[in-house]
Amino acid sequence: MNIRWDAEGYTERFSFVPGYGRDVLSLIEAGAGSAVLDLGCGNGTLTRALQEKGYRAMGLDASEALLAIARREHPDIPFVQGDATAFSLRERVDAVFSNAVFHWIDRERQRDMLACVREALRAGGELVFEMGGKGNNRRIHSALGEVFKRHGYRYEMPFYFPAIGEYAALLEAAGFETRVALLFDRPTPLQGEAGLADWIRMFVKAPFEAVPEAEEREQMIAEAAQALRRELYANGVWYADYVRLRMRAVRL
């Protein structure tokens, strides 16, 4: 993953991320008592939800800061640090679940990740996930691209947002059969008057590494928010123009 998390800020201001993920849990068909890995578990909110549904849940994440919160809040659930593109489990699981993680992984590393997931699953096990899909945050990234250009920088897209067909092909090549595939708009309300600026600061870190001065970075964020105000601000609330890709696939 290409980000260092502000773990406390993420937990406090962006709880909608695991909140929306609760609906994805309903795609898991494994029965109660099945072993489920929450891949990219973050602060463990959805790992706990898996446990509450009767699964033997465990979490894996690359961020020690987020895992520290997960272990503090859910001491009875096993959490391990690991890279989603290079991990292995001692025992295979019945399902791998993931929410809002796969789009952080470069397209070139998706095959590595899916190979790890396949190896972690028993034959017939299921992969259930939601990620950013084609068109996700198109308005936000377009506005940032224009701002970067005005300031003399190149905006490098830090995410991978595939279409259904593209990701279904990756799954098939990795030894999975796609059973469910949905691509849908989900305009998402953000918290506070500075909601969009806070969202950019939290999630769009990598492109701003090319901007050396903090003052200029803040000016650029302000310019992007101003450009988007007419489209993404309504009745005192900022919205992020999310498009989500939700899938279920079975290991062959």
- Predicted confidence (pLDDT) per residue in 64-98, tens digit: 999 999 999 999 999 999 999 999 999 999 999 99
Q: Hey, what are 242's tokens?
A: 């999310």
Average pLDDT, the chain: 93
Q: Does residue 61 sit within a domain?
A: yes
Expressed as residue numbers, the domain containing 39 is 7-134+159-191+241-251
CA 14, CA 202: separation in Å to the nearest integer?
Answer: 9
**Contacts with 71 (C-beta within 8 Å, 6 or more apart), sequence order:** 44, 79
Q: Does residue 230 sit within a domain?
A: no
In 3D space, the residue among 35, 85, 34 whose CA is nearest the CA of residue 58 turns out to be: 35
CA 149, CA 236: separation in Å to the nearest integer?
Answer: 29
**Are 91 and 119 spatial neighbours (Cβ–Cβ below 8 Å)?**
no
What pLDDT does 29 receive? 98
Higher pLDDT, 56 or 8: 56
Query: 16 pLDDT band (50/70/90 cuts)?
Result: low
What pLDDT does 5 receive? 43
Q: Does residue 198 sit within a domain?
A: no
Q: What is the pLDDT of residues 221-233, one digit of tens each?
A: 999 999 999 999 9
Q: What CATH number does residue 178 fall under?
A: 3.40.50.150
Over residues 13-28, mean pLDDT: 74
Q: Does residue 154 sit within a domain?
A: no
State pTM to two decimals: 0.92
What pLDDT does 193 receive? 95
Q: What is the pLDDT of residues 122-160, one digit of tens each?
A: 999 999 999 999 999 999 999 999 999 999 999 999 999
CA 31, CA 29: separation in Å to the nearest integer?
Answer: 6
What percentage of the chain carries pLDDT values higher than 70? 92
Q: Does residue 142 sit within a domain?
A: no
What percentage of the chain carries pLDDT values higher than 90? 91
Higher pLDDT, 18 or 176: 176
Number of domains in the chain: 1
